[in-house]
Structure 1
Amino acid sequence: MDTSPILQGLCALNGWRQEVIAGLHAMAAMTTDLGLLPSGIMLQMETLAYETERDSLRVAFVGEFSRGKTELINALFFSDMGTRLLPSSSGQTTMCPVEIRGAPQGRPGLQLLPIASRSLDVSIEKLKRAGSAWTRLPLSLEEKNERTQTLAHLTETVCVTVEEARRIGLCPPLNRTPKDRERTVCPSCGLGKVLIPRWRHAVLYLAHPMLDAGLTVLDTPGLNAIGAEPELTFGMLADADAIIFVLGADTGVTQSDLTIWEQYLMRNPQQKQIVLLNKIDTLWDELRDGSEVTAEIRQQVEKTALRLHVHREQVIPVSGQKGLVARVRQDQELLERSGMVALERAIAEVLLPARRRAIRARCRVLVERAVMDQKNLLREQIHSIQAQSESVRGLKDRTAEKVPKLVAQHQQLLKNFERDRQAFEGKKAVFRQAAEEHLLVPLAPNAFDMVISNAKAEMLSAWTTAGIVDRFKSFFGEAIAHFDKALQGAQQVSALVAGEYQVLQDRYRLPALGAVPYAIMPRRAELMDMADNYERFGMMLEIAVNTQSAVVRKAFLTVAGRTRDFIVETRREAETWVDEIMTVMNRQMELFHDKAEEELSALQTIAQTMGSIDTRIQQLQQTLQILQAQMMRLDQQSAPLLNLLGEPVSTAL
């Protein structure tokens, strides 16, 4: 059978991404050589190239327990191994979220985070940088038995007391536990104990073509794990590029399925979503006509699309188990019947182009702005040289008596400009003080830490779901108020700087201030979206109405941490904007000063001897040729990267 279209698409995406990375490095080097823009622009392009190189397509499989998510992952991505990779047989259910990534230096392995780490107020992302917190196991892909034993750890559970489970947030508090279940009996462990996952999170590193080409897969457990692990909801699922929502073909959309969809998945417009009706082989019946089975599956697809309010094309009926068998046995007929061909095509034609568009959108703004700014500066310099050439040629037609007067006028111009520039320099401290007071102070991390601290105390004192929701709203209300104050400050700083610069611009015909105003409004809109999503999560924290609840604490700390990071990032961008606008103004005044001094020097030389006019014209012509060559180089070297970032990408669904 042909190679999976997903692998073909990933390889194409990776090849395109490498071209973009090379283009960004080349653009950064050329920007440095031309020396027209602040060094910060070059650093931004190098940073963008690094982030693009680390970019991956993050696909999360979400659904209730026993929906066949793991088997679908085996069939879609790892059937080339000739057998089932991840444990998904009867009685073997993945008990913790599993990230599947490319293996560093090609060395496979398994990292497991103990469930006891839930008692720490530390995020999983931070714990990933703490090697001592994880259990690390080598993984042999060649030895099947050894590989199976290692990966079986993903299904492990452990018996603990109800009190221990409640302490780490995996059991309802006493006031929410039914009277007849206060003394829980686990068949495996006995009275007063419950069965919980042994591991909180797992990272599986594999040397595999799809993973090496930039794919990251997240396999999630069922609804309980999603609700009890806020970081999984607010971090991993929110950051995924695509969600594959797995349902049972025989059951359709159950109430628990609908809960997952409405509370966690449906409201993120940035994500692509594909809904799978898995296990359609349970509907195959040799005693029924094939058209009847097809009609039943089609009817189930239409009901599912209607229930979830999605397009019919987003719902795909499949059989992960039969698809895996077909891939392993090279059975094309069974593969088509399993629906895997349609699913692979949807991923290749929908998710991969969407990832390319996201990379392109992230890179294009900076690249187009850098190219345009450099072209504008070169055009201004070319225009200035051309004007000087015309002026010098005009001198040849004038009498020598007029030259000393022109020298005196130019000297006075430089004297006046230097006086005005010194006055402007003296006002820069006022600009920065205004930026600090009106723009940066409202976004100060220390002030926001106090907001978090107060909100945390009030959150833990909330005894009702409504109280939790109100605290979420109040917390984000304070965060948005900080943003609004910073927005007003950004407008004040912009008006102050632009007004002072306008005086010099009108007096000396300086170029218009080309610095882009700091766009804090889109950042505020992002914060509003975060607030909406997080407040909805607060509405369903039914298990979190006890002051001792680990889930309430972790949920709020996760939300607060991500919001604080957002505030810090916004402040960092604001600081960069202030530095950039100061640099641009300095550059414009330096260019005017240099040009005026150059013209004065030329006039003084002309005054000394009219015979030097021809030499000056030749110098100007040489400078003009250099600038025109730089413009041509900029066009030629930027064109391939702009074409990569501007090429159309086919869309589907």
Structure 2
Amino acid sequence: MQMNGSLSQQVEAYHDWKKELIRQIARYRLWLQDNDLFSEDVSDRIRHGLELLVEDELTLAFVGEFSRGKTELINALFFAGYGQRMLPSEAGRTTMCPTELFFDRNRNRNYLQLLPIDTRREEPSLQQLRREDAWWEHHELDTSSPDTMREVLSEVARVRSVSVREARELGFDEKMLESDPEHNDNVLIPAWRSARISIQHPLFERGLRILDTPGLNALGSEPELTISMLPAAHAVIFLLSADTGVTASDMTIWKEHIATEDSDHRAGRFAVLNKVDMLWDDLEGESHSQDAIRRVQRDTARHLNITPDDVVPVSAKQGLHGRVRDNQSLFDHSGLGNLEDLIVDRILQYKEDLITQSLINDLVGMLQNSQAAMQSRLSSMREELDACREHRVDREALKRLAERSQQDYDFYYRKLITLRSSRRLMQSQGDLLADMVSQERFDQHVSKIRHLMGSSWTTPGLSRAMDHFFERLENDFNNLLMEGRLAEKMVGSIYRRYNEDNRTRHLEPIPLRAGRHLIALRDLRRKADRFRRNPRNLLSGQNRLIQRFFNVMVTEARRLHERVRADVDRWPREALLPIMQYSLEQKKLLEHQIRRVRDMARNDQTLRSERERLTDRIAELEKQLDLADGMLRQIRRPPPTQMQQKVVNLSGIA
């Protein structure tokens, strides 16, 4: 299957950029080992960076009311190479359950997994069920037979006929369900609660992940989808229909599930105005059609309170036809290429910036530390070579060099002793921070809220108990923030004292940044407030409400708590790492230098052989520094979207 369009090319370039970063990190690790500069602390830091790159994914959520063309758009973007629609996208309600598309790199298999809708009656949360294959119905996918694969994938759209009462018990609003034409008293509900499609598509292999959501009814009836999965997507593509504009149900989805204060769509929220081919008018001409499209585009932007540039007019149907028929003119007219450009320019660039901020800047600092240490070694060797004058070894110069090297060695030795003492102090401080967000403390809060909710017989009582849970967590996070700031001040003073000596590099401490976790918790608390006020939740029975709260809100709080604990556990070890690394590297280099200078002073070998030995060592050291420079240049290379922008700018200048 051939990849098409700028999206494929740029995702491939993004993947290649990450692969090159992984290669350079591996080279840096070997370089440290070859030059006797490796340590366990540095190894941990490098391993953490590699994990960020290897596990990196980009999640796009496609959201919209029924019949807006979400699945057709996914077919056009990712499955045109099969020559037909692979996901069911005929007229009407097709995708009936949340569907994730990705490639399972661990199993290296193509498959469809379906979670039965009846699991809503079970106690485990959706997140727990996602980790247990036993709950899912499994179908293999044969990518060599598109017709067979399409037939298997059509299962995603299957519905069940149930009574209104059963639909209510499963969490659906019967007013938003279709009646069963064959059984008038029944309604149609999706047969599946969730679907997962692992398929070996080049973009999915590169870490792209798609979340295809059904309409408003499913969004409202699956809290974990809107509380956890949807807000966690890096970007949201909101589907609208050009022939209807922004309807009331569209606005409900936008306001309640997308443009909310607590959504974490850091790469953006974009509206796709689909089915613009409905506005194409062959009689009036292209100019008239474009004016109509621009008018709907402006109106859509005004209704959603976004810029017109964030509203992309497309015809997914015509884009799919253009690709399947290899009709470039039809594809260009469909506007699908503009959507791909938007994903590249805004969403991929966000991911590149995130990697730059979280990994590359840290890696560059480590490498520059190592270069500075090696540069000191080179300067000392050149002094040793100068001491080997033309006719004799300048033993006085060697003596002065040895004394200064010993003084520097003693300096860094003392620094390391002080830093190790400071690190023990940091670990004590870390233990204090860890106690504030310990697993035991969180479990106590959970037990308390379970007791309060179980003993509350009124809706206001249940609501107060829910809020009390987040109030306790917020108190813990506030205390963590205050103690964390004190710890950061202590680290700052250690760095200031270290940087006072002119023999050291000016290094910056690694911050804890506990405030971002408090912000995340407050966002989650706002989601919980909406959960508490949701009439559908309040009208359900007490046991059902408690189960939903624990499955959705407590589970999400637990995941946030785990991230906080991981940061609090790692920070005390890493906070002093830059100055620890630099001091340790300098100490190791000075040990080698002192040994060499003493050997030279005692050695009666010829002056020529000594100069040759030093010249060879200096050449080797210069070679190692050149290798480090090469790694630094490669690591600092601009990511693909920035490179593309430079090419465009240069082309514009020309």
**Normalising to structure 2: TM-score of the pair?**
0.80
Does 2:31 match 1:36? no
Distance 1:288 1:309, change over 3 A: same
Q: CA deviation at 1:481?
A: 2.8
Report the equivalent of 2:101: 100
Distance 1:12 1:536, change over 3 A: farther
Report the equivalent of 1:266: 259
2:139 aligns with one of 117, 133, 137: 137
Specify every segment of 5 or more residues in structure 1 that has no aligned partner in the other structure, as ranges. Answer: none
Letter in 1 for 2:101: I
Instruction: Describe the superposition over 1:334-393 as per-residue Cα deviations: whole angstroms up to 9, x where unpaired.
Output: 444433343344334444444444444443123212212212333455566678889999
Report the equivalent of 2:317: 321
Secondary structure at the counterpart of residue 642 of structure 2: coil
2:307 aligns with one of 311, 316, 327: 311
Distance 1:520 1:233, change over 3 A: same
Q: CA deviation at 1:447?
A: 0.5
Q: Hey, what's the Cα distance between the residues in 2 that align with 1:269 and 1:257?
A: 18
2:373 aligns with one of 367, 374, 377: 377
- Counterparts of 1:633-652 in structure 2 under 5 Å? 633-645=627-639, 648-649=642-643
Report the equivalent of 1:451: 445
**Does the 8 A contact of 1:510 with 1:592 survive in 2?**
no
Secondary structure at the counterpart of residue 648 of structure 1: helix
Q: CA deviation at 1:501?
A: 9.0
**Does the 8 A contact of 2:495 with 2:509 survive in 1?**
no
**Does the 8 A contact of 1:31 with 1:42 survive in 2?**
no
Q: CA deviation at 1:204?
A: 1.6
Cα RMSD of the aligned pairs, angstroms, is 4.7
Report the equivalent of 2:78: 77
1:233 aligns with one of 226, 234, 241: 226
Report the equivalent of 1:114: 116
Report the equivalent of 2:15: 14
**Normalising to structure 1: TM-score of the pair?**
0.80
Q: Hey, what's the Cα distance between the residues in 2 that align with 1:339 and 1:121?
A: 45
Distance 1:569 1:633, change over 3 A: same
Q: Hey, what's the Cα distance between the residues in 2 that align with 1:25 and 1:412?
A: 34
Letter in 2 for 1:327: R
Q: CA deviation at 1:247?
A: 0.9
- Count how many residue pairs are aligned between Structure 1 and Structure 2: 636
**Does the 8 A contact of 1:472 with 1:538 survive in 2?**
no
Letter in 2 for 1:454: K
Instruction: Describe the superposition over 1:292-350 as per-residue Cα deviations: whole angstroms up to 9, x where unpaired.
Output: 44433322211111010111122122332233333333444544443334334433444
Distance 1:341 1:100, change over 3 A: same
**Does the 8 A contact of 1:248 with 1:279 survive in 2?**
yes
Q: CA deviation at 1:202?
A: 0.7
Q: Hey, what's the Cα distance between the residues in 1 that align with 2:113 and 2:3?
A: 33
Secondary structure at the counterpart of residue 536 of structure 2: coil
Letter in 2 for 1:18: K
Specify every segment of 5 or more residues in structure 2 that has no aligned partner in the other structure, as ranges. Answer: 649-654
Distance 1:519 1:615, change over 3 A: farther
Moved more, 603-612 or 100-109: 603-612
1:253 aligns with one of 234, 246, 249: 246
Instruction: Describe the superposition over 1:107-139 as per-residue Cα deviations: whole angstroms up to 9, x where unpaired.
Output: 532111111222344444443432211111123
Report the equivalent of 1:215: 208
Report the equivalent of 2:428: 433
Q: Hey, what's the Cα distance between the residues in 2 that align with 1:596 and 1:327?
A: 64
Q: CA deviation at 1:566?
A: 2.8
Q: CA deviation at 1:638?
A: 2.6
- Counterparts of 1:567-582 in structure 2 under 5 Å? 567-580=561-574
Report the equivalent of 1:365: 361
Report the equivalent of 1:481: 475
2:172 aligns with one of 147, 170, 178: 170
Secondary structure at the counterpart of residue 113 of structure 1: strand
Distance 1:496 1:385, change over 3 A: farther
Q: CA deviation at 1:284?
A: 4.6
1:157 aligns with one of 150, 156, 159: 159
Distance 1:60 1:411, change over 3 A: closer
Secondary structure at the counterpart of residue 83 of structure 1: coil
Does 2:558 match 1:564? yes
Distance 1:429 1:87, change over 3 A: closer
Q: Percent of counterpart pairs with the same letter?
A: 26
Secondary structure at the counterpart of residue 643 of structure 1: coil
Q: CA deviation at 1:227?
A: 2.2
Report the equivalent of 2:339: 343
Does 2:62 match 1:67? no
Instruction: Describe the superposition over 1:435-488 as per-residue Cα deviations: whole angstroms up to 9, x where unpaired.
Output: 312x221121211222233345556759658974x6666544433332332333
Report the equivalent of 1:523: 516
Distance 1:227 1:31, change over 3 A: farther
- Counterparts of 1:283-294 in structure 2 under 5 Å? 283-284=279-280, 291-294=287-290
Letter in 2 for 1:247: L
Q: Hey, what's the Cα distance between the residues in 1 that align with 2:350 and 2:150?
A: 35
Q: CA deviation at 1:213?
A: 4.3
Q: CA deviation at 1:289?
A: 6.0
Moved more, 342-351 or 110-119: 342-351
Distance 1:237 1:625, change over 3 A: same
Letter in 1 for 2:94: T
Q: CA deviation at 1:521?
A: 3.8
**Does the 8 A contact of 2:102 with 2:199 survive in 1?**
yes
Letter in 1 for 2:62: F
Distance 1:77 1:112, change over 3 A: same
Q: CA deviation at 1:422?
A: 7.5
Report the equivalent of 1:302: 298
Instruction: Describe the superposition over 1:573-593 as per-residue Cα deviations: whole angstroms up to 9, x where unpaired.
Output: 333232245667766776787
Secondary structure at the counterpart of residue 68 of structure 2: coil
Report the equivalent of 1:90: 91
Instruction: Describe the superposition over 1:537-562 as per-residue Cα deviations: whole angstroms up to 9, x where unpaired.
Output: 43662211145364664355433333
Secondary structure at the counterpart of residue 48 of structure 1: helix
**Does the 8 A contact of 1:29 with 1:42 survive in 2?**
no
